[in-house]
Amino acid sequence: MPTLPSLIDPADSLLLVIDLQEGFLNKLSAERRESTVDHCRFIVQLAARLAIPMFVTVEEPQLNGMTDARVHVCLEPGTPERDKSVFGLCGQDNLREAILAQPKRTAVLIGMNTDVCVLHSAVGLLAHGFRAVIVSDASEAAGLGHQPGLARAAALGVEIVTTRGLYFEWVRSLAGLARAEAAPRIAPPAGTIL
């Protein structure tokens, strides 16, 4: 029997911040870099506010740096930045085991690079029974890789959502909206109207 479509359930969500590092961000124009980081910052702050757990990866941190500082300061204290030496995190035993050991089964992915690490991780998670969702305006890729990466992901069964769409799916109601908008208010990404 086919699975019926449904909104993203915040109670079943896990936020994955994939390789949001200076070494990858510096391959983008200043405008694309700023927009990506700002959208990621907002989603991380929202996830923290809604008690949605986070899973953060970094690739070759000695070369590419750690998670961008503007996003890192928004992570829940004690959130590990897990070293990833493969493009798709499910291809690395310790990462796959860690993500399978936790109970959430909706993986929401943001970060770098849409057409490589974000795509490979999303597809790997699908293969392990997860619902995989890429946030289109909170992921990016060098050159022209972003849109083809999103198209490839969608063709392989990954869902694509915007930051605004994710916000309202996670918030769900006026009570949820009040919780998300409680002081101190989380500033939305530049140009995003909530």
Best CA proximity match to 7, nearest among 149, 173, 168, 146: 168
Amino acid at 175: A
1 pLDDT above the threshold of 60: no
CA-to-CA separations, 10 to 49, 103, 104, 176, 180, in angstroms, rounded? 11, 13, 10, 11, 12
- The DSSP secondary structure of 55-94, one letter per residue, reads EEEEESHHHH-SB-HHHHTTSPTT--EEEE-SSSGGGSHH
| Domains present along the chain, CATH in parentheses | 19-180 (3.40.50.850)
What confidence tier does 3 reach under pLDDT thresholds 50, 70, 90?
low
Are 127 and 90 spatial neighbours (Cβ–Cβ below 8 Å)? yes
What's the average model confidence in pLDDT over 91-119? Answer: 98
Judged by DSSP in three states, 161 sits in strand
Residue where the block lists tokens 């006026």: 174
2 pLDDT above the threshold of 70: no
Q: For position 185, what pLDDT does the model report?
A: 93
What percentage of residues in the chain have a pLDDT greater than 70? 98
141 pLDDT above the threshold of 70: yes
pLDDT digits (tens, 9 = 90+) for 44-66: 999 999 999 999 999 999 999 99
Q: Which long-range contacts (CB under 8 A, 24 or more apart) does 150-159 make?
A: 150/114, 152/115, 152/119, 153/114, 153/118, 153/119, 153/122, 153/123, 156/123, 156/126, 157/123, 157/126, 157/132, 158/119, 158/122, 158/123, 158/126, 158/132, 158/133, 158/134, 159/131, 159/132, 159/133, 159/134
What confidence tier does 5 reach under pLDDT thresholds 50, 70, 90?
confident
Residue where the block lists tokens 């918030």: 171
Judged by DSSP in three states, 150 sits in helix
